[in-house]
Structure 1
Amino acid sequence: MNKKHIMYTAVSSVLLSSSLLLHSIDATAAESAKVTATSLNVRATPSTSGAVVGKITKGNTVNIVDESNGWAKITYNGKEAWISSQYINKTQTNSTSTANSTSKSAVVNASSLNVRSSASTSASILTNLPRNSKVTVLKESGSWSQIKTASGQTGWVASQYLQAGSASSAPAKDSGSTTSKSATVNASSLNVRSSASTSASIVTNLSRNSKVTVLKESGSWSQIKTASGQTGWVASQYLQADSGQSSQTAQSIQITKASNLRTQPSLSAGIIRVAKAGERFKKVSEANDWVQIQYSASQTAWVSKGLTAAAGSTTSASLPSPSAALKDKIIVVDAGHGGYDPGTSGKSSIEKNLALTTAKLVASRLANAGANVFMTRSNDTFISLSGRVNVSEAKHADAFISIHYNASTSSSANGIASFYYSEAKDKELAKYIQESMAENAPSMKDMGVRFGDYYVTRENNQRAVLLELGFLSNAHDEQIVSSNAYQQQISTGIYQGIARYFAANK
C-alpha cells in the first residue's frame, strides 16, 4: 500500500510534526478525531479543488470545529482549514458537551438505519443497520443517540429509529417475518451466511438461477433453504421471486426524472446525491409516498415514489439501453503497473498480472457493446504515469478506467473501492461503477466511492477513475480475486457500471 501511495500521490513537502500542526480550540465546540489516511490533505476550503495548505499524517489527532457535506473544519497553524471527514475517526466528545451519558439496550425499528460519524445528517455514514439490529446506547444529545453496535463500532443515529430492548451480540432467532416461498438467485455468485450479517461465516455459495425456499425475512436479509436442504442467510436483493409470487426486495425500479436520493423518507432529510433518469435500483420497501432502494451493498436510500417506475415498464422502456449508450464511446482501459513495476503482491499473485487479466476482460466487454476501446498496455510492459495520461488525452477519451489491486500493512484490510479526483468530472462515474461492482461481486466488501490523489486521475483532463479490486495482502481477498469466477464478476460489474453511466448521461 505504501509503495502504491508513494507512486501515485504527489508528495511535495516534508510533513511537520503534530505539535506544530494541531492547535487547541474552544472546548465547547471541539470534538476529537484521529486521521486514518496515510497522508491527509488540509485544504483552504471544503472542496477537492480547494488549495492544499498542508498535510497531516496517519494517527495524528485533530479537533473538529464543525462539519459540512463530508468535510470537517479544523484549526491548522492558527488558521481555519478543512479536511475530508471520510479519512478521520471520531475518538471522543469533549467533557463539556451537553450530551447526556447513558448505557441502555435498544433495537433498530427502521428498515435500514444509517450510523454516522457525528450527530448530523451531513456527517459521513460509517455503516448501515438492518431492522432488529441490537445496539447499546452510550449517550444522547438532542434527537441523536451515540450507539455501539454488536461488532463494537460506535457512531450516531437518529433516536426516533431506536426502540428500547435487550441487547445481544447474537442474531435474534425470532426476529423478522416468517414466510415460505420459492425464489431464484439472480446474482452470478451468492454467499449463504450463518447469520444475517456480512461479517458472518460463509456456509456455501450459490450460482445464478439456483432455486431456494425463503423461510424468513429480516430487514434486508432472507433466511433460505437450498435444494440440498442447507439453511442460511442471503442478501434479499439478490433473490427473485418465482412467477406467481410477489417480492418487494427482488423488484427493480427505474428513475424517471432527476430525483434526490435521501437518507430518510422525508423532504427535510439529508440528500445523498441526485439520481438521473434511467438509473436502476433494487427496491427494498415502501412507506407512504416514498420508495426505499438499495443504494449500494451497504447503504439504502429513499426516493419519491412519483419519480420512479417499475423497470421494464412503458415509462422506462423509452430510456436508452446500456449497450446503445456505449456505441462509439471512446474508453481507455489502463492496466496498472507492468514490466519492471510489479505493483503489490500476495502469497501467489502479482498485481500487474491480475490487473492486465481484468483489463482485457473489461476491454472485450466494452468493445462487444460498440465502444472504441484503447488499452494503455496489452502485455507485460512498463508505461509511465504520464504516458498513461497521454493516451487518455490523445484519444479524447470519454472515460479512462485505471485497474489496480490493493495492499495494506494490516492483513485484515479487505474490499473493493472506486477513487475519483474531481467531484465535478469523475465522481459520478465512480459511483456507477462501484455500485455495479458491488452488485456483481457480492462476496467482496463494498468500501464505497472515495477521493484519491492519484497521478492518473489528478493530471487527466478526461473523465477518469481508479479502481482497487481487492487486497492481495488479505488471504481471503487474494483467494477470491485470483479465481476465474471473480474475474468474470468484477469485469462484468465494471462494464455494466460504465454502460449505466452513459445510459443515464446520454
Structure 2
Amino acid sequence: MSKKHVMYTAVSSVLLSSSLLLHSIDADAAESAKVTATSLNVRATPSTSGAIVGKITKGNTVDIVDESKGWAKITYSGKEAWISSQYINKTQTNSTSTANSTSKSAVVNASSLNVRSSASTSASIVTNLPRNSKVTVVKVSGSWSQVKTASGQTGWVASQYLQAGSASSAPAKDSGSTSSQSAVVNASSLNVRSSASTSASIVTNLPRNSKVTVVKVSGSWSQVKTASGQTGWVASQYLQAGSASSAPAKDSGSTSSQSAVVNASSLNVRSSASTGASIVTSLSRNSKVTVVKVSGSWSQIKTASGQTGWVASQYLKADSGQSSQPAQSIQITKASNLRSQPSLSAGIIRVAKAGERFKKVGETNDWVQIQYSASQTAWVSKGLTAAAGSTTSASLPSSSAALKDKIIVVDAGHGGYDPGTSGKSSIEKNLALTTAKLVASRLANSGANVFMTRSNDTFISLSGRVNVSEAKHADAFISIHYNASTSSSANGIASFYYSEAKDKELAKYIQESMAENAPSMKDMGVRFGDYYVTRENNQRAVLLELGFLSNAHDEQIVSSNAYQQQISTGIYQGIARYFAANK
C-alpha cells in the first residue's frame, strides 16, 4: 500500500544533501540488482505476510546485503528490509573504495546517530554521535557510509542522516505553535516515540486518519501533538498534509451525553484513547453505551454496568431505540436497491441480487436497515426481504446445489521453508493447511471440483499458485492465511480483494458468512489488498486473513478445533451463497 509523504522543507534538505553526498563518493564493491516488477513490496520480514514498509518501482537498483530462501535482504530507509528474489535481476558492480586523500567531510543531520560495526541495523553500536558532529566519509556501500569520527573511531552509519560539508551548528528550526501544521496519519498503525529514533520508547500508537499537529521537523522525523494532547516523534513519511483544526475536540459533557450502540462483533474498551492502552472490558455487538466525550477519532463511554473507558468512534452508531438482541440475518428475495436512507428518493448504494444475505440491524415502517459493510449500513424495502432460512428464502437456489461442478482452487498460504508468521505456539503454514483441507472437504462434498495448490508442507511459489488457478480455469481461487502485526492488540478476520469488479462481491459473501460462524472474532470487514495471488490472477480470487497470531487471544481461538470447524464452515457457506446468488 503506497504511503504519501508529507514534504517539509527540513526533510527535503536532508534528502537532497544525502543524495549529493552519495553521488560525490565512489561506492564500495557490492552485489547489486535491478527491480523487474512494476512495483515491488519491501517487507519488514522475509515473508509475504510481513508488514509492507515501502515499494520500489521497476528499473531501480538495490544493493543485496544477504539472501535466504527466496528473499533478498536490503537496506531501506536506514533499516534492514526484505524483497522477493524472483523480482530482481542481479548484476555485480565493482568500483574502487575512496582513499583517505579523496575522503569527504560531512556532518550528522539527526538528533542522535548510531555508529555501527558493520552496515546493518543489527550490528553492534560502536558509538553515538549528536547532531552536527563532523565526520570523514571513507566509503559508501548501498545506503550506508563508513565514517571516521573526530576521535578517530571508525564505523558505519545510515547515509540519509549525513549532510555534505560543514553545516551550521544551530539546532533544527522549531516551527513553534504559531506556525504549526495539521496532518493525518497515512499508515494502518503509527508509533509515536519519545525521541526521533526507532529505538526510542513508544509513547502511544495512532490508527490511520488520526489527526495530529506537527510542531517541529528534524531530519526524517516530525514532532507531533496528538488530539489527546500527547507529544512525541513519528516518521514523517507516514504523515499526510491535512487541514484539520488543531483545536481540542469538543467535549459533549454529561449534560449532553448521547446513547449509542456497538456496531462491531466485539469492541475493546480501553483505559485511554490509544490502541496501546490497556483493555478495560470488551463489548459485544448492539451493546448500549453512553457517550460522555469525543476526542479525535475516540469516544469516552460509560457501559451499562457503569464502567468507563475509550473506544474507536467508528464502531459506534446512534441508538435508535432498537432492541439489543443479536442481529438477525435476512435474505434478499428479489433484486432490490440498497439505499442510504429509508426512502425511495434516497441515494442508491447498489443493487442487491436475489439470495444475498445481510445482518438486520434495524427496522422502521416498511424498511429494513442492514449492515452493508463493517462501517456502513443501508436500507432495503421490507417486502423484498425474508428471514434467512424461512420458507420464502428457501425457494431461492440451493447453496450446495449451486456448487455442483464449480471449479474451486483452495490455496493454503506459505509452506515448506516459508513458515509465514508465527505465534507463541502456532505456525501460519500449518494452520493455513488445516483450514484449507477442511474447506476443500466441505466444497467437494457439495459437488464442487476442488484443487489444492498444496496438500502437504511444500513450498509453492506465488506464480505457481496463480498458475494452478488459471490452468484449471477456476471459478474461484481462495487463498487462506493467518495475520500478524507489530501491535499485539491487533485482532480479527478480514477478506481481501484486488479487483472490485471481479473479486469484491465474493469477498463480501465470505466475510459475512465467516463473521456469522465465528462470532468470537472481530469482524474487520472486506478490504482492498495488493497481493500477488489476487493481483496477477485472471480468475476470481480472494485472500482471507483468519486471525492474528501476534495477538494472544486470537491465537488461542484459532488454534482450537472448534474455531477451525466454524471458520471453514463460514468460508464454505460464503462461497456457496455467492454462487447461489450468481447462477
Q: TM-score range by the shorter chain?
A: 0.5 to 0.7
Cα 1:192–1:421, aligned 2, differ >3 Å: closer, same or farther? Answer: closer
Structure 1 unaligned segments of length 5 or more: list them: none
Alpha carbons 2:27, 2:141 under 8 Å: kept: no
Q: Does 1:446 align with 2:523?
A: yes
- Structure 1 position 90, deviation (Å): 41
Q: Is the 8 A contact 1:415 1:444 kept in 2?
A: yes
Moved more, 378-387 or 155-164: 155-164
Per mean C-alpha deviation after superposition, the further-off stretch among 284-293 and 355-364 is 284-293
Shift of 1:445: 1.1
Q: Which moved more, 1:488-497 or 1:221-230?
A: 221-230
Q: Structure 2 vs 1, CA of residues 51 and 395 (structure 1 numbering), >3 Å: closer, same or farther?
A: same
Structure 2 CA distance for partners of 1:421 and 1:503, relative to 1, 3 Å:
same
CA contact (8 A) 2:497 2:541 kept: yes
TM-score by length of 1: 0.53
CA distance in 2, matches of 1:45, 1:164: 32
How far off its partner does 1:300 sit? Answer: 3.7
Contact 1:190 1:443 in 2 (8 A): no
Could you tell me how far apart the structure 1 residues matched to 2:343 and 2:150 are?
Answer: 28
How far is the alpha carbon of 1:399 from its aligned partner? 0.2
In terms of mean alpha carbon deviation, does 14-23 or 258-267 score higher?
Answer: 14-23
The 8 Å contact of residues 134 and 169 in structure 1, kept in 2 or not, is answered as no
Q: Which moved more, 1:134-143 or 1:231-240?
A: 134-143
1:223–1:233 contact (8 Å) kept in structure 2 = yes
2:424 alignment partner, SS class: coil
Per the alignment, in what secondary structure is the counterpart of residue 95 of structure 1? coil
CA separation of 1:343/1:235 partners in 2, compared to 1, >3 Å: closer, same or farther? closer
In the TM superposition, what whole-angstrom CA distance separates every residue of 1:166-215 from its partner, at most 9, and x where no partner exists?
A: 99999999999999999999999999999999999999999999999999
CA shift in 2, pair 1:200/1:254, >3 Å = farther
Q: Deviations over 1:233-269 (max 9, x none)?
A: 9999999999999998665432122222234323454
Tell me, in whole angstroms, the C-alpha distance in 2 between the residues paired with 1:287 and 1:132.
67
> d(CA) in 2 for partners of 1:180 and 1:54?
27
Q: State the structure with more CA Rg.
A: 2
Alpha-carbon offset, residue 292 of structure 1: 1.6
Partners of 2:405 and 2:447 within 8 A in 1: yes
Q: Would the alpha carbon gap of residues 331 and 180 (structure 1) be closer, same or farther in structure 2, given more than 3 Å must change? A: farther
Return the offset for 1:283: 3.1
Of 228-237 and 262-271, the range deviating more from structure 2: 228-237
Q: How many angstroms apart in 2 are the aligned matches of 1:156 and 1:246?
A: 64
> For structure 1, which segment, 227-236 or 323-332, has the greater mean C-alpha deviation from structure 2 after superposition?
227-236
Query: Cα distance, 1:493 vs. partner?
Result: 0.6
What displacement does 1:21 show?
21
Which position in structure 2 is the counterpart of 1:81?
A: 81
**Whole-Å separation in 2 of the counterparts to 1:12 and 1:451:** 31
RMSD, aligned α-carbons = 18.0
Looking at structure 2, the residues matched to 129 and 460 of structure 1 have their Cα atoms a distance apart, in angstroms, of 50
Q: What whole-Å deviation, never above 9, does each CA across 1:48-90 have from its counterpart, x for those lacking one?
A: 9999999799999999999999999999999999999999999
Could you say if the C-alpha distance between residues 475 and 367 of structure 1 is closer, same or farther in structure 2, counting changes exceeding 3 Å?
A: same
Taking a change above 3 Å as real, the CA distance of residues 70 and 330 of structure 1, as seen in their structure-2 partners, is same
Is the Cα contact below 8 Å between 1:150 and 1:169 reproduced in 2?
no
Q: Tell me if the contact between 2:28 and 2:139 (Cα under 8 Å) persists in the aligned partners.
A: no
Distance 2:60 2:37 in 1: 10
Alpha-carbon contact 1:342-1:350 (below 8 Å) kept? yes
Residue from 411, 419, 441 that aligns with 2:496: 419
CA gap of 1:411–1:53, structure 2 versus 1, over 3 A, is closer
Distance 1:460 1:102 in 2: 53
The Cα shift of 1:321 comes to 1.1
CA distance in 1, matches of 2:514, 2:566: 8
Contact 1:105-1:135 at 8 Å conserved across structures: yes
Does the 8 A contact of 2:408 with 2:476 survive in 1?
yes
Kept in 2, the 8 Å contact 1:281–1:294? The answer is yes
Change (3 A) 1:297 1:93: farther
> What SS class does the counterpart of residue 10 from structure 1 fall into?
helix
3-state SS of paired residue (2:371): strand
Change (3 A) 1:285 1:361: same
TM-superposition CA deviations, 1:105-128 (whole Å, max 9, x none): 999999999999999999999999
Q: 1:41 to 1:360 in 2, by over 3 A?
A: closer
Task: Specify which structure has the bigger relative contact order, considering alpha-carbon pairs within 8 angstroms and separated by 6 or more residues.
Answer: 1
Q: How far is 1:390 from its partner?
A: 0.7
Partner of 2:170, secondary structure, is coil
Distance in 1, Cα, partners of 2:324 & 2:542: 35
Q: Distance in 1 between matches of 2:128 and 2:337?
A: 19
Q: What's the CA shift for 1:369?
A: 1.1
Alpha-carbon separation, structure 1, partners of 2:160 and 2:383: 26
- Matched residue of 2:511: which SS? helix
Deviates more, 1:391-400 or 1:289-298: 289-298
